Structure 1
């Protein structure tokens, strides 16, 4: 009898244990199917990949519903990985959202329970899929012009992929597009601390965002930092000069450049930057003149404008002496030589019909000034035949000397260049 009781007890124990082993088998099935999915995904085998992931999901759902296996760290880690990859594969926002949510919940539990770090690979796989899935979702949302949602998706992607510069950049772009300027600033501030390949552009955008927020102090600080990191980038130097003008600190920047030239008199770029300050100061006077009615003030502003164009011309010429093929200097020299001619021409158009002699004299003076600019304008188009700025300046010359056929011919070239872009 004792033997029979023991035998029956053993049989009952085996009978009761069978469902547990069966459910542990579902964890194994899920793991096996997920590993198959991973291997097939690497081989880019579409239909089989989908089938393997589906099997893995069915198995892990069964394991998650059984009280004996539902709380295992491995179960949560597998569910996080399987659901994360399923969410990543689902391109429809409405159906992928709950799958993302389930994956994220499982990931939190897996990290809490896996104190022995036995499921690190599964957790890493889940995080990589969640990061990529959020990134993919962000791209789709951005294309649909859902900029706020796109920003949130790109920002969420970074939670699972620390230091992902692409996600930061896209988040910044999305935030700016959605007029979430503070969010964009936050993303770009973090991005410029990395080695992101396009940080020169990020600095430019960040300075613009600060200006949008009317924060000229930080805009100028960012521009100055950008110039130090990218000293050869003329656009960033222009931005620093522009902001300095707005902040009333242009003299500080000019003093730095002039001081640098004393130690490096053969630096063509420094001459260009000095020229930019003088030419932009002159351009600033144009806006002031347009708003002023007092004749004496206008005369003083016009003189200061002409003086600054002359100083700019001197700086650009020095840069060209060092490098005759320096396009930026040639382009800008043409511009500052052309501008006084435009002023003379426009002033002539304001003369009354009774002052024909004065009109003729003004046009003759304007033509002389236009002709002085022509060699630089033509040189710029030769150095960079695809520069629309160069061709537009030359077109302005022909308008000024009243050669409409030539101006129209150049406009066709400009149209052709812009069509190719």
Structure 2
């Protein structure tokens, strides 16, 4: 009888301990819920009361993670990952690098174990908590990656962004960042691999993919992907610009001009295309056609400073050539000299309305002011020249 009583007492004690340890898990959940409510998901400027709740949640989950009855529960490891990942981000944001790294490692280890234990589960609460933990861990690596990128440590940045993908597989931001870091570190094959997973949906991926091929020395692939990008994103100014530059530098100027003209015919209201057509014509030394293109751009998109500035530049270049031609006229041909100068001045005057519009729409672009100064230098107006020089110095 005494033995049975002892056994019963032991069993009851065991049940009490198991309940107590399950209670620690429940306490961790309750305290974390309170923390989440107080912060609203924020990881910066966390209130003191919220940090107290998080601290108690961590103390409770650490106990649950070591007890025989709860150490293998998916919930335990999910909350262990979740709570430590919160600490990792909070420490990182507050500049506590060592503490952040320790919390990140603990969270990462717990995350992997929780992922294994959760395999096949359709528990929505667990999935939501795993998603939150994964997002926090991925953002921790984004923080590391951005910091490394800013110091030109592209190898470390690539490693960080790649690590982030362990927690958020296929995330487009992390994939793009990893590709850009690899590209800057001259790991072109790695960069190309990352960017290819993002096309055809991402215009940024296309731009970087084309550039990676170009830097690798594969010009044909660079042109191929930028041409493909232009069909996918016909309204992207960056893509159209890169397409023009690439095709011109590879000797395909005529092709790109025909392509743009075809696009303009199909979409006459597109305000971007005339500017790029003008640029293409300028690159092939056809200034008159370029000027007409810029004028069309002004009609299609009257608030775009680029067309006004480009039109003015072409006119001033012509005026400069006439002015220089006047300088070569012999001194015994005064009338011819003056007529040539007047021709240059009259032509230059027609650039002023374009320059005024360009500097009004975009007063911070130095090139427009430099061309305005050139106009007044050409006219010999020293006061206006000085006034604009002062503007330029202030920019």
**Which range, TM-score by smaller chain?**
0.7 to 0.9
Cα distance in 2 for partners of 1:17, 1:108 equals 30
Q: For residues 275 and 141 of structure 1, do their structure 2 counterparts lie closer, same or farther at Cα, with a shift above 3 Å needed?
A: closer
Unpaired segments ≥5 residues, structure 2 = none
Cα distance in 1 for partners of 2:344, 2:196 equals 47
Q: Which of 388, 403, 406 is the aligned partner of 2:384?
A: 406
1:20-39 equivalent positions in 2, closer than 5 A: 20-39=18-37
TM-score (normalizing by structure 1): 0.74
Q: Deviations 1:239-267 (Å, cap 9, x if unpaired)?
A: 32221111111112222344456667787
Q: Are 1:238 and 2:241 an aligned pair?
A: yes
Q: Deviations 1:359-396 (Å, cap 9, x if unpaired)?
A: 99789746634541432343232255134233222222
Cα distance in 2 for partners of 1:140, 1:324 equals 41
Q: 1:271, CA displacement in angstroms?
A: 4.7
Cα distance in 1 for partners of 2:131, 2:293 equals 57
Q: Name 1:302's counterpart in structure 2.
A: none
Q: Name 2:132's counterpart in structure 1.
A: 125
1:120-159 equivalent positions in 2, closer than 5 A: 120-159=127-166
Is 1:128–1:160's contact at 8 Å kept on the other side of the alignment? yes
Q: For residues 224 and 59 of structure 1, do their structure 2 counterparts lie closer, same or farther at Cα, with a shift above 3 Å needed?
A: same
Q: Are 1:108 and 2:112 an aligned pair?
A: yes
Cα distance in 2 for partners of 1:258, 1:77 equals 58
Q: 1:279, CA displacement in angstroms?
A: 0.7
Q: Name 1:79's counterpart in structure 2.
A: 80
Q: Are 1:378 and 2:353 an aligned pair?
A: yes
How many residues are paired up?
383
Cα distance in 1 for partners of 2:270, 2:34 equals 62
Q: Name 1:393's counterpart in structure 2.
A: 371
Q: Name 1:290's counterpart in structure 2.
A: none
Cα distance in 1 for partners of 2:290, 2:168 equals 49
Is 1:342–1:366's contact at 8 Å kept on the other side of the alignment? no
Q: Which of 98, 104, 113 is the aligned partner of 1:94?
A: 98
Bigger mean CA offset, 29-38 vs 101-110: 29-38
Q: Deviations 1:290-326 (Å, cap 9, x if unpaired)?
A: xxxxxxxxxxxxxxxxxx2233234445555777777
Bigger mean CA offset, 245-254 vs 107-116: 107-116
Cα distance in 2 for partners of 1:339, 1:329 equals 15
1:212-231 equivalent positions in 2, closer than 5 A: 212-231=215-234
Q: Are 1:46 and 2:47 an aligned pair?
A: yes
Cα distance in 2 for partners of 1:211, 1:360 equals 55
Bigger mean CA offset, 331-340 vs 183-192: 183-192
TM-score (normalizing by structure 2): 0.78
Q: 1:145, CA displacement in angstroms?
A: 4.8
Cα distance in 1 for partners of 2:298, 2:132 equals 57
